[in-house]
Chains A and B, each alone.
Chain A
């Protein structure tokens, strides 16, 4: 179990230090600083083992969060906890920055006492935490309130309190995906996967029971036998594909896993406010929103010509946004001339790359940039390694092909029906590591 938790600033100074177990000494704090933060080589592994002590760290902007343990813990659990911790802190005081941490250190220690007990993670649901860890000093609570908090925190449904009431029952559902790709210069897909999240914001009264349905291959195939016509009709997306194969998925604690295991139906009592319902990953039949076609020509020792074409590969009615193409330049670049028809392109010396930005681009379009790069002859005989061209974008559909089929809400006690709930669904596909070799 987690023996201690430290938060450092970018210089390696300790901002927060909370030790849960005796086996973690003060020197562990220094060990991490010396071996990871100030390491001569950049430490890439999030898990570092120093003198039989394991350090699990995540970095948020310039802040390092490190969980320390001497035991053989489940690393995934520790990271899950650290991410949760980040979420909780963000929910309480916004961006995780040195300034904010210093201003809220009392709150952070209070939170740490609550969400981690003797190194064992406890309830880290922001909604629940906010009921009893408040920033407004100690407000004297009535006996009932106190007992309510106790029963809720210790009860079966720790993530939702009773007696929530909204005039308008509303529900927002976002499917957020990031698509990762590595493509050869010839356009062959070397590796591709989509990691997605279903994020919900629910403002529902009472203790509603929800049921979420999507075009999961297993479910569709099970139903598909009887209702083949119906499913083909319901296919509205640009993918032309009816169901998707999900490689693996994880759920928010509110989802009844037994039901998922037996019927593969996702039913749950949602927490109030925003939360992440599920995470998933797919690798098959991914819609690649953009295709990058690079053309690099070396003209002698002192000149390089680069031409890059990007093609959008989705329905023309959809608009991709925030497109950014990053074309790496050799290390001995001494000058760059860029010509592009669309968007803006600039040579960024500090990153050794040409950055081409396009605000908006419709589907089934094509755009091109060409650049002349002047090189300085060097003594070095090493050849340029030609790093891949990477890309960033945002598209309003799910590249995995995931579709929300339904989200039903039942609240037997309060007498509002599924039809009374206003539901919003949104798909956003972003680029993860989207690279094409050149």
Chain B
């Protein structure tokens, strides 16, 4: 070590740092730094030569200022000058500055390299170490180019000091990591291996790291290291904890070196030489034995170090997979850890067991722990550990315990359905898809509908697993007998993403189709219906097999199927495929329509099943906004997803609602039209309603040509009516236009009457029901509301409303309005031909309510006439709602 000179204190630097620390505000600090920088600049100006001490001091100050977060753009030259100093401290500061501040493309790099070269050649171990550290810290390609030839020489030279060897090994390792192509192999490699025999454990540790990395690249060259490593390991393992002095860590002899040696051995197969092999087995046994010994210290560091060695030993045992005895012992050891207090240990034990389970020798041994693992699954609080437990259960599953495990898994899945958070899936969707598909394959009967819905949900929403799952499903379907649920999943996924694997000749479109169709006849009606949908998707995806599909659809078993639903689908799909030209079919709208139709039941059947849909948010919260918001509004009357698209992002309910009641009312009887329009955008709307489900297909059009002129964005909203409601849902649109954030809210024209299903009935029926309902009228109460009054009859079924028509009464117009309103217009039912009658059923998720309607125009009373609107239904709220809506039309 160099002599400590008097200048080591660097008083100026200490004063400067304490000044900075005493600054009360940021401004004061900046002022102080500016002052110091100006001072250093004036000193570096070059008028008079600086001595080494002040140079070092100023460079040090610059370094400090840089580390405070300020830019330093000078002083490099002075730092490089410091490299040529003979004082250790000056050189050290120079190297420090260079490794922190000099970027690789600096013009000074040549000078720096020169300085380093001089130091490497200096034979002074301290300087050599500094130079090596600098190379490793910078680690740039230029450095590698300049020094990869020299460092191995230093490393293997006989007269190099231990500490330098250590640094050289680590430096070479670093260069090998940054630019592996530059590190030359040569005769030095064999000599490096012999470093494993070095007296100095530090050198051995550094060399082991280097050899492990290099051996992974070309194992042949370092093959000789195995026996050396084994002997070194055995020496460490058998040594008493006091033998190794500095390298004993909390009573564990050289844990890092042991771990590294064990890692190195994992690069190679089990040694063939009997002696070496025996010695290694002995070592591993000793390590396992040591694990059984009572701990020498209560400190956590002791157990950590011990367990690190143990786990590495177990991975080596698993890697070798040749000693049944050891494997079983390892397994038992892990079994002990399964119940350990330490979560990390449990996690590691589960993980290692997972690999152990795949070994033929230890599989049985692992199976003995099944109860513990299942217990862990049930009681563990840490999700990642639970996930490992599931993994392990899957790995240990075989014929003998399949029933138990699958039952447990299912059990678990059911609880997981409600409790597990998104991370489980977010971590590994592929795993999830795999597991579920396996589940369906193994125990299809146990799998409820929700499970496969969820698989599809995940696949649809995760781009990265679509191709994979298509492939997996395709492979799974190859099995001669598959469960119907698997066919469903397969049909759905292939229909959507079959194109992703169509490139492979083994899974060409035709093969995919044939595979699915081979299952068709074995399936129940709903599955067949789903498969038919898949076929029409295939027509879109693969026009080349259109003819085949049309043939199938045309066959009598389809077109004349006894089941109406199948028949209808077959006929419709056949027509669709014949009429529609390829470009219509391939327009995105068609495919999304199909997707939407297929998806709607999935969404809606998952949502109610999962207690208010909150699960969906948990599991799929990173998915499309449509799904996310489904659950968001589920607590309200209906679920209405919001629009989200490229530049139309939804949110912020605080925005003011555009009072577009006029517009909205327009839609009471209409399903298509322009919902909203201003200078910026136009929102068009197309809607379809089936019972309690609605689908909106809104087109957003950028009217301003400057921004994506006239581009249309389409968004499908699925709506479910849960119960009666008065207020229409609000659609919030947020987008950026000309830099300014625009917010608009539009009422979606969803009114209760949209969920009407018209019912035809005869005059007799109509009046029978009418009377039946009105017979119960006993007393009436009158509720007056601002402008109109309801006469509500107890038991609260009828709403009668008299209102003035805003427009002249016209029979045809009125008829059209009633039909548009959603009810069936019953012609010739009422004895008075001028009266209108209608009937319909309102479908909500909870109830279905039949409604009867009678409209009695009274032309005499007013110029425009008065309508007497009578409305019957079992539920008062619905009456009021409908009446409300109806009055809007007039």
Which A residues touch B24, using CB under 8 A?
10, 62
Chain B residues contacting A376 (CB-CB under 8 Å) are: 41, 44-45, 74
Which residues, 22 to 80 on B, are CB-close (under 8 Å) to A?
24-26, 31-32, 34-35, 37-39, 41-42, 44-45, 71, 73-74, 76
Q: Which of B38, B44, B45, B73 lies in contact with A349, CB distance below 8 A?
A: B38
CB-based contact A350/B35 at 8 Å: yes
Q: How many residues of B contact A (CB 8 A)?
A: 20
The distance in angstroms between the C-alpha atoms of A376 and B35, with both chains bound, is 15
CB pair B44 A10 closer than 8 Å: no
Please indicate the chain A residues that have their CB under 8 angstroms from the CB of B32 in the complex.
Answer: 350
Q: Contacts A62-B25, A374-B45, A379-B106 hold; do A349 and B74 have CB atoms under 8 A apart?
A: no
Q: Answer whether residue A144 sits at the interface, using C-beta atoms and an 8 A cutoff.
A: no
A349 touches B25 (CB 8 A): no
Q: CA of A350 to CA of B25 in the docked complex: distance in angstroms?
A: 14
Which interface residue of A10, A42, A335, A350 has the most chain B CB atoms within 10 A?
Answer: A350
A42 to B69 CA separation, bound complex (whole angstroms)? 14
Query: Are the CB atoms of A332 and B76 closer together than 8 Å?
Result: no
Asked whether any CB of chain B lies closer than 8 Å to the CB of A378, the reply is yes
Cα distance, A379 to B111, chains bound together (Å): 15
Are B25 and A333 interface neighbours, CB within 8 A?
no
**B interface, over-half SS:** helix
Instruction: Tell whether, in the assembled complex, residue B42 and residue A334 are in contact, meaning their CB atoms are under 8 Å apart.
Output: yes
Alpha-carbon distance between A352 and B73 when the two chains are bound, in angstroms: 16
A263 at the interface (CB under 8 A from B): no
> What 0/1 readout, one digit per residue, does chain A (311-343) give for beta carbons within 8 Å of chain B?
000000000000000000001111100000000
* CB–CB A350/B76 < 8 A: no
What residue in chain B is nearest A349 (Cβ atoms)? B38
B76 contacts A334, C-beta separation under 8 Å:
no
CB distance from B282 to the nearest CB of A (A): 57
A32 to B35, CA, bound (A): 31
Q: Establish whether residues B38 and A378, one from each chain, have CB atoms under 8 Å apart when the complex forms.
A: no
Contact with B along A399-428 (1 / 0, CB 8 A): 000000000000000000000000000000
Check: A351 CB closer than 8 A to any chain B CB: yes
Q: Contact at B73–A332, with CB atoms within 8 Å?
A: yes
CB-based contact A333/B74 at 8 Å: no
A293 CB to closest chain B CB (Å) equals 27
Tell me whether A379 and B73 are in contact in the complex, defined as CB-CB below 8 angstroms, given that A10-B25, A350-B35 are known contacts.
Answer: yes
Give chain B residues whose Cβ lies under 8 Å from the Cβ of A380: 71, 73
> Are A334 and B25 in touch, CB under 8 angstroms?
no
Contact between chains at A335 and B45 (CB < 8 Å): yes
Shortest beta-carbon distance from A137 to chain B in Å: 34
Contacts of B71 in A (CB 8 A): 380
Nearest to A374 among chain B residues (CB) is: B45
CA A62 – CA B38 in complex, angstroms?
26
Q: Mark B85-128, 1 if CB is under 8 A from A, else 0.
A: 00000000000000000000011000000000000000000000
A351 touches B41 (CB 8 A): no
- What is the CB-to-nearest-CB distance from B814 to chain A, in angstroms, rounded to a whole number? 48
Given contacts A10-B24, A376-B45, contact A351 B74 (CB under 8 A): no
A332 to B31, CA, bound (A): 15
Instruction: Tell me the bound Cα distance from A332 to B71 in angstroms.
Output: 12
In the complex, what distance in Å separates the CA atom of A379 from the CA atom of B72? 10
Contact A332 B41 (CB under 8 A): yes
B74 touches A378 (CB 8 A): yes
Q: In this complex, which of A10, A351, A379, A380 has the most chain B Cβ atoms within 10 angstroms of its Cβ? A: A379
Closest chain-B Cβ to A73's Cβ sits at a distance in Å of 15
User: Are A332 and B74 CB-contacts (below 8 A) given A10-B24, A376-B44?
Assistant: yes
* Set of chain B residues within 8 Å of A62, measured between Cβ atoms: 24-25
How far does the alpha carbon of A333 sit from the alpha carbon of B106 in the complex, in Å?
22
Cβ-defined contact, B26 with A349, below 8 A: no
Q: Which residues of B contact A350 (CB under 8 A)?
A: 31-32, 34-35, 38
**Bound-complex Cα distance A292 to B42 (A):** 29
Q: What chain A residues lie within 8 Å of B42 (beta carbons)?
A: 334-335
A350 and B20 CA atoms in complex are apart in Å by 13
Q: Report the minimal beta-carbon distance from A51 to chain B, rounded to whole angstroms.
A: 15
**CA A376 – CA B44 in complex, angstroms?**
8
Cβ distance B109 to chain A, nearest Cβ, rounded Å: 12
How many angstroms from the CA of A422 to the CA of B45 in the assembled complex? 64
* A349–B106 CB distance below 8 A: no
On chain A, the residues within 8 Å of B41 by CB distance are 332-334, 376
Report the bound CA distance from A376 to B74 in whole Å: 8
Q: Which residues of B contact A351 (CB under 8 A)?
A: 31, 34
Closest A residue to B106 using CB positions: A379
Q: A334-B44, A335-B45 are in contact. Are A352 and B34 (CB under 8 A)?
A: yes
For the complex formed, measure the closest distance between the CB of B91 and the CB atoms of chain A, giving whole angstroms: 22
Listed residue (B37, B76, B106) with the most chain A CB atoms within 10 angstroms of its CB: B37
| Assembled-state Cα–Cα distance A258/B89 (Å) | 79
Q: Is the CB of A349 within 8 A of B76?
A: no
Task: Give Cα A335–Cα B26 distance, bound, in whole angstroms.
Answer: 25
A332 CA to B34 CA, complexed, in Å: 10
Whether the Cβ atoms of B26 and A42 lie closer than 8 Å is yes
Contact check: which of B39, B44, B74 meets A379 at CB < 8 Å? B74
**A360 smallest CB distance to B (angstroms):** 28
Question: Which of A335, A374, A378 is within 8 Å of B73, CB to CB?
Answer: A378
Distance, CA A376 to CA B38, complexed state (A): 10
* Nearest residue, chain A, Cβ from B31: A350
Q: In the complex, A331→B72 CA distance in Å?
A: 10
Closest chain B residue to A302, Cβ basis? B45
Name the B residues within 8 Å of A333 (CB-CB): 38, 41
Complex: A10 Cα to B22 Cα, angstroms = 12
Q: Which residues of A contact B26 (CB under 8 A)?
A: 42
Residues of B within 8 A of A352 (CB): 34, 38
In the complex, which residues of chain A have a beta carbon less than 8 angstroms from the beta carbon of B45? Answer: 334-335, 374, 376
Nearest CB in chain A to that of B108: its residue: A379
How long is the Cα–Cα vector from A4 to B803 in the complex, in angstroms? 54
For chain A, residues 384 to 399, give those with C-beta under 8 angstroms from any C-beta of chain B.
none
Nearest chain B CB to A349's CB is how many angstroms away? 3
The smallest C-beta distance from B114 to any residue of chain A, in angstroms, reads 18
B102 closest partner in A (C-beta): A379
Q: Which of B39, B71, B73, B107 has the most CB of A within 10 A?
A: B73
Q: Which residues of A contact B44 (CB under 8 A)?
A: 334, 376
In whole angstroms, how far apart are the Cα atoms of A334 and B75 in the complex?
Answer: 13
Residues 348-387 of chain A, each 1 if its beta carbon lies under 8 Å from chain B, else 0: 0111100000000000000000000010111110000000
**Docked complex: A87-146 residues within 8 A CB-CB of B:** none
Complex Cα spacing A376 to B40, Å: 10
Query: Smallest CB–CB gap between A328 and chain B, Å?
Result: 12
In the bound assembly, the distance between CA atoms of A281 and B25 in angstroms comes to 33
**1/0 contact string of A46-75 vs chain B (CB within 8 Å):** 000000000000000010000000000000
B67 CB to closest chain A CB, in angstroms?
Answer: 15
- In B739-776, the 8 Å CB interface with A consists of none
Would you call A379 and B34 a contact (CB within 8 A)?
no
Say how far A49's CB is from chain B's closest CB, in angstroms. Answer: 14
Within the complex, the shortest CB–CB distance from A380 to chain B, in Å, comes to 4
Q: How far is the CA of A62 from the CA of B23 in the complex (A)?
A: 12
Contacting residues of chain A (1-33) with chain B, CB-CB under 8 angstroms: 10
B631 CB to nearest chain A CB (Å): 22
Inter-chain CA distance A398–B42, complex, in Å, is 44
Closest chain A residue to B35, Cβ basis: A350
What are 14 A-B pairs at a CB distance below 8 A?
A10-B25, A62-B25, A334-B41, A334-B45, A335-B45, A349-B39, A350-B32, A350-B35, A352-B38, A376-B41, A377-B74, A378-B74, A379-B73, A379-B76
A residues neighboring B (CB under 8 Å)? 10, 42, 62, 331-335, 349-352, 374, 376-380
B interface vs A, CB < 8 Å? Answer: 24-26, 31-32, 34-35, 37-39, 41-42, 44-45, 71, 73-74, 76, 106-107
In the A-B complex, the 6 residue pairs with the smallest Cβ-Cβ separation, listed nearest first, are A349-B38, A380-B73, A350-B35, A350-B31, A334-B41, A378-B73
Q: Can you add 17 more A-B contacts, CB < 8 Å, to A42-B26, A333-B38, A352-B34?
A: A10-B24, A10-B25, A62-B24, A62-B25, A331-B37, A332-B41, A332-B74, A334-B38, A335-B42, A349-B34, A350-B31, A352-B38, A374-B45, A377-B74, A379-B73, A379-B106, A380-B73
